Amino acid sequence: MLVPASHGDQPMNVLITGGCGFLGARLARTLLQRGTLAPGAGPAQNISTITLADRAPPPSDLAADARVRYVAGDLNAQIASGAVPARDTDVVFHLSAAVSGECEADFDLGMHSNFEATHALLQACRKLGTRPTFIFASSLAVFGKMPGEPMPALIEDRTLPTPQSSYGIQKYIGEQLVADFARKGFIRGRSVRLMTVSVRPGKPNGAASGFLSGMIREPLAGLKAPCPVPPETLVALSSPARTVEGIIRAAEVSDAQWGPLLGMNLPSLRVTVGEMAQSLERVAGKQAAGLLDWTPDEAILKLVRTWPGNVAAARANAMGLQADTNFDDVVRDYIRENPQAVKLAAVKA
Residue 160, Cβ neighbours under 10 Å: how many?
8
> Alpha-carbon Rg of the chain, whole angstroms?
20
Rounded to the nearest 5 percent, the helix, strand and coil shares of the chain are: 45, 15, 40
Contact in structure between 67 and 33 (CB atoms under 8 Å) = no
Handedness of CA 195, 196, 201, 206 (dihedral sign): positive
**Is 172 among the residues known to form the active site?**
no
Q: Annotated catalytic residue: which of 70, 167, 172, 334?
A: 167
The DSSP annotation for 77-114 comes to HHHHHT-SS-TT--EEEE-----HHHHHH-HHHHIIII
Nearest to 326 by CA among 288, 285, 294, 283: 283
- What's the rounded Cα separation, in Å, for the pair 202 and 12? 31
Which residues have a catalytic role annotated? 167
